[in-house]
């Protein structure tokens, strides 16, 4: 067996899994063409698919059709938010920067814009987004509707940075909504596509800026013990606990004025010739021994670049994901219990966990709604594998710690549980009923969530 270094370790077990490139199927198709999401875990055969180019076309569609209708973005949600036998509305053409203000550093953006396409466009007008989620192929509307977030104990999600938006209701009415609309504003910013179709979003940004990202490995327990202090001392801080290992990949990101570029701090090579190759029959102890040897001899990587190039990543390997937010206090113990459960039950999984803090915020259906910071914890399964046995074992651990599910990720909760986890859930249901009394924006999954 040849020598293994940090470079090959990360390429095989982390970067290839988490930060590769991928393509999504976003082209409009003819009626009755089957649809599937990015991972292939959600499918449907809608009655029609409509690639609208304007709000007028959208209103005409709403007025000329009947039955369920679901807006779709990049199809990156893993939960069944989209599948319907009704109509799908593709909003890709509602994209780009529509207006901006250099004094307030705000920009109005077409809701169908892909996050990965906005960085350069915003940089051209001297602006940068305050934060970005981990994946750059989502549409702005899809990411905000599901409460998708980035990392940072002082940084809100994309939805938290919305200053106003335009909603076309199921009745075909255009509503421009901002903070002066009170409860409606906090309901619509994270709306799971249940209130209508969002066509424009105005975001609070900041001046364009550079960041420095640093990646290294460290013993998981050491990082968990000091996590509060580390999260508070960096703009962004998160870890990827490696399964069957005592180590985590650690990631910090901070503002920087240094020149754009990358530095690799090498480590000594480790020879694993005395360890038998890791195979499907390897015991948990054998996996632990190998992974620890690799992680303990890891290089450190530092890179400086424009903010949008470091905050989001391009993915290669397709997967399904479950993510819950946990009150930050006690969340480290949740991570420990998940790792122990994987080890004790010898669950065959190679994907690392993801653990980070997010800022509290006001949108009612945000995972971080409230006054206290939350931690988010994610587990993954490659798309070619059945995620259900693994997720079914781990999900009750999230419940034990008071976890709230990410709307775009796999979860099994329904109306009864969700109404207890989200304090303004019943208020959201009332607004949903008032805007969509006939339930056009609902599919079977959303009916289960909202007891409709």
pLDDT in tens, 66-121: 999 999 988 989 999 999 999 999 999 999 999 999 999 999 999 999 999 999 99
pTM: 0.90
Mean pLDDT of 127-146: 94
Is 408 part of any domain? Answer: no
How far apart (Å, rounded) are the C-alpha atoms in residues 25 and 140?
17
Structure tokens at 384: 């070619």
Question: 229 phi and psi, to 5 degrees?
Answer: -65, -40
CATH number at 324 reads 3.40.462.10
pLDDT at 23: 30
User: 212: helix, coil or strand?
Assistant: strand
Give tens-digit pLDDT for 203-253.
999 999 999 999 999 999 999 999 999 999 999 999 999 999 999 999 999
Residue 402 has pLDDT above 90, yes or no: yes
Is 9 part of any domain? Answer: no
pLDDT at 282: 73
Mean pLDDT of 432-444: 97
How far apart (Å, rounded) are the C-alpha atoms in residues 307 and 53?
30
Is 339 part of any domain? Answer: yes
pLDDT at 265: 77
Mean pLDDT of 321-342: 97
Q: Which domain holds residue 256?
A: 210-400
In whole angstroms, how far apart are CA 283 and each of 54, 287, 344, 385, 390? 57, 6, 11, 20, 18
Termini Cα distance of the chain: 59
- As for how many domains the chain has, the answer is 1
- Comparing CA positions, the residue from 421, 238, 390 lying closest to residue 325 is 421
Mean pLDDT of 367-393: 96
* DSSP run (H or E) holding 306: strand 300-306
In whole angstroms, how far apart are CA 150 and each of 44, 158, 227, 236? 30, 8, 17, 9
Q: If you average pLDDT over every residue of the chain, what do you get?
A: 89
> Which pLDDT band, with edges at 50, 70 and 90, does 286 fall under?
confident
Give tens-digit pLDDT for 180-209.
999 999 999 999 999 999 999 999 999 999
Higher-scoring residue by pLDDT: 282, 424: 424
How far apart (Å, rounded) are the C-alpha atoms in residues 26 and 114?
11
pLDDT at 180: 98
Mean pLDDT of 18-45: 63
Give tens-digit pLDDT for 289-309.
888 888 888 889 999 999 999
pLDDT at 345: 95
Is 160 part of any domain? Answer: no
Distance of CA 229 to the CA centre of its chain: 24
How far apart (Å, rounded) are the C-alpha atoms in residues 341 and 337?
6
Is 153 part of any domain? Answer: no
How far apart (Å, rounded) are the C-alpha atoms in residues 368 and 153?
11
Higher-scoring residue by pLDDT: 425, 350: 425
How far apart (Å, rounded) are the C-alpha atoms in residues 405 and 326?
9
Is the distance from CB of 357 to CB of 368 less than 8 angstroms? no
Mean pLDDT of 310-332: 91
pLDDT at 378: 98
pLDDT at 444: 97
How far apart (Å, rounded) are the C-alpha atoms in residues 407 and 22?
22
User: 320: helix, coil or strand?
Assistant: strand
pLDDT at 275: 34
Radius of gyration of the chain (CA): 22
- 50: β partners: 89
Residue 196, Cβ density class (10 Å: 0-12 exposed, 13-18 middle, ≥19 buried): buried
How far apart (Å, rounded) are the C-alpha atoms in residues 391 and 371?
29
pLDDT at 350: 87
pLDDT at 452: 64
Q: What is the 3-state secondary structure (H, E, C) of 92-143?
A: CCCCCEEEEECCCCEEEEECCCEHHHHHHHHHHCCEEECCCCCECCCEHHHH
pLDDT at 277: 42
Is 387 part of any domain? Answer: yes
pLDDT at 285: 77
How far apart (Å, rounded) are the C-alpha atoms in residues 249 and 218?
7
Question: 232 phi and psi, to 5 degrees?
Answer: -75, -20
Distance of CA 75 to the CA centre of its chain: 12
pLDDT at 166: 98
Residue 281 has pLDDT above 80, yes or no: no
pLDDT at 267: 61
- Comparing CA positions, the residue from 441, 421, 416 lying closest to residue 431 is 441
Mean pLDDT of 436-441: 96
How far apart (Å, rounded) are the C-alpha atoms in residues 89 and 62?
10
Residue 432, Cβ density class (10 Å: 0-12 exposed, 13-18 middle, ≥19 buried): buried
Is 49 part of any domain? Answer: no
Q: Is the dihedral of CA 146, 151, 153, 159 positive or negative?
A: negative
Angle among Cα 123, 156, 38 to the nearest 5 degrees reads 75
Is 15 part of any domain? Answer: no
Distance of CA 97 to the CA centre of its chain: 22
Distance of CA 418 to the CA centre of its chain: 19
Structure tokens at 361: 């915020």
- 75-79, 140-144, 399-403: which range is least confident on average? 75-79
How far apart (Å, rounded) are the C-alpha atoms in residues 203 and 162?
5
Express as a percent the part of the chain with pLDDT over 90: 80
């Amino acid at each position: 067996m040849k020598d293994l270094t940090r470079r090959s370790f990360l390429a095989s077990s982390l970067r290839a899994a988490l930060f590769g490139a991928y393509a999504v199927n976003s082209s409009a198709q003819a009626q009755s063409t089957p649809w599937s999401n990015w991972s292939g875990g959600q499918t449907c055969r809608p009655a029609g698919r409509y690639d609208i180019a304007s709000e007028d076309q959208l209103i005409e569609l709403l007025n000329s059709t009947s039955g369920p209708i679901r807006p779709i973005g990049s199809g990156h949600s893993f939960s069944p938010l989209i599948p319907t036998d009704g109509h799908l509305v593709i909003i890709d053409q509602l994209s780009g920067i529509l207006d901006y203000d250099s004094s307030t550093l705000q920009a109005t953006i077409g809701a169908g814009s892909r996050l990965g396409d906005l960085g350069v466009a915003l940089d051209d007008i001297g602006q940068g987004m305050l934060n970005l989620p981990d994946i750059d192929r989502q549409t702005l509307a899809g990411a905000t509707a599901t409460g998708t977030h980035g990392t940072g104990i002082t940084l809100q999600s994309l939805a938290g940075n919305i200053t106003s938006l335009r909603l076309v209701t199921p009745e075909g009415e255009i509503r421009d909504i901002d903070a002066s609309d009170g409860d409606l504003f906090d309901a619509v910013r994270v709306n799971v596509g249940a209130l209508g179709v969002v066509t424009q979003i105005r975001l609070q940004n900041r001046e364009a800026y550079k960041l420095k990202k640093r990646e290294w490995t460290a013993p998981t327990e050491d990082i968990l013990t000091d996590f509060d202090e580390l999260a508070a001392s960096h703009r962004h801080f998160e870890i990827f606990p490696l399964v069957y290992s005592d180590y985590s990949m650690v990631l910090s990101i901070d503002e920087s004025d240094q020149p754009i570029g990358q530095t690799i701090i090498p480590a000594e090579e480790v020879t694993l010739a005395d360890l038998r190759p890791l195979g499907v029959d390897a015991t948990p102890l054998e996996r632990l021994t190998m992974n620890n040897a690799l992680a303990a001899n890891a290089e450190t990587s530092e890179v400086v670049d424009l903010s949008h190039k470091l905050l989001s990543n391009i993915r290669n390997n397709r997967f399904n994901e479950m993510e819950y937010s946990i009150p930050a206090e006690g969340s480290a113990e949740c991570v420990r219990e998940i790792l122990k459960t994987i080890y004790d039950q010898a669950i065959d999984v190679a994907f690392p966990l993801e653990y980070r803090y997010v800022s509290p915020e006001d949108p009612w259906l945000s995972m971080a709604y409230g006054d206290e910071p939350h931690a988010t914890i994610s587990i993954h399964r490659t798309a070619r594998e059945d995620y259900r046995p693994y997720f079914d074992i781990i999900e009750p651990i999230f419940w034990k710690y008071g976890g709230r599910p990410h709307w775009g990720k796999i979860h099994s909760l329904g109306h009864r549980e969700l109404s207890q986890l989200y304090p303004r859930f019943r208020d959201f249901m009332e607004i949903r009923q008032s805007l969509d009394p006939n339930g056009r924006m609902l599919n079977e999954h959303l009916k289960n969530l909202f007891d409709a």
